[in-house]
Amino acid sequence: MALLQTHNISKHFGERHVLNQTGFELQTGEILGVFGRNGTGKSTLLKILFGTLTAQSGSIKVNESQFDVRRKFWHKNQIVASGLIGYLPQFSFLPQSSKVWDIIPRYFEGEQQDLVFRAPRMTEIAKQRVSELSMGQRRYLEVLIIGNLNHPFLLLDEPFSMVEPLFKELIHDFLISLKVTKGILLTDHYYDDVWKLADRKLVLKNGKLEQVKELQELVAGGYLRSI
């Protein structure tokens, strides 16, 4: 089992304080759902954890390795190089003009490559260019790539946004299978998908993460107007 811990992460943009000494723990074998309204800092938090954004204060600890998130470009030689955390951003990271069967070998070889190509529905995707894929096909492909890398922890930002039901179901099944060996932090405005998958749930409000156990708490906390 691996353990990811974050401590006292604070981030502000000028006078706007987005994160206020917040933190959480995530271990392999579980999915952590993070909820929050637009602008509350969910994507900011994920970028800090991955290392593409620094914070005013805070640290990340993975098992016995600790990382200071205040240092500029700290991620280049630490988290990313160590292969500890994988990150799915909101927006596509794939080259639009490339064919899928040319992209997969850039990330995998041997048995790992075969595993991705044998995934459900990949035979109908492999010959197409990324620009020709539907939203669901593209997001499914991106989740497959990130999920099959060797990182013990995954940060997934909006994996279900605008995804058609068939591929949403495939992503659900894939994440459940990944949970056996990985710790997954999941956030999406399609809150029902996150709620169904998550073993534990947190809501981000006023810069703090608070635990929630019932859907009604998301209403009381101002995230949902009603259920």
Please state, as a whole number, how many other Cβ atoms lie within 10 Å of the Cβ of residue 171: 23
Structure confidence at residue 63 as a pLDDT band (50, 70, 90): confident
Nearest of 202, 176, 178, 180 to residue 191 by alpha carbon: 202
Amino acid 15: pLDDT: 83
Structure confidence at residue 31 as a pLDDT band (50, 70, 90): very high
pLDDT tens-digit series, residues 102-129: 999 999 999 999 999 999 999 999 999 9
> 208-212 and 200-205 as β-strands: parallel, antiparallel, unpaired?
antiparallel
- Residue 175, helix vs strand vs coil: helix
Residue 226 pLDDT greater than 90, yes or no: no
pLDDT tens-digit series, residues 133-174: 999 999 999 999 999 999 999 999 999 999 999 999 999 999
**Half-sphere exposure of residue 146: CA atoms within 13 angstroms, side-chain side:** 27
Mean pLDDT over the full length of the chain: 90
Residue 77 pLDDT greater than 60, yes or no: no
CATH architecture of the domain covering 3-220: 3-Layer(aba) Sandwich (3.40)
Amino acid 71: pLDDT: 64
Residue 67 pLDDT greater than 90, yes or no: no
pLDDT tens-digit series, residues 165-219: 999 999 999 999 999 999 999 999 999 999 999 999 999 989 999 999 998 888 8
DSSP-derived secondary structure letter, 202: E
CA distances from 126 to 69, 114, 118 (A): 38, 12, 10
Structure confidence at residue 82 as a pLDDT band (50, 70, 90): low
Q: Are 130 and 95 spatial neighbours (Cβ–Cβ below 8 Å)? A: yes
Hey, where are the domains in the chain? 3-220
Amino acid 215: pLDDT: 87
Please state, as a whole number, how many other Cβ atoms lie within 10 Å of the Cβ of residue 51: 22
Residue 224 pLDDT greater than 90, yes or no: no
Structure confidence at residue 72 as a pLDDT band (50, 70, 90): low
Residue 74 pLDDT greater than 90, yes or no: no
Q: Which amino acid is at 55?
A: A
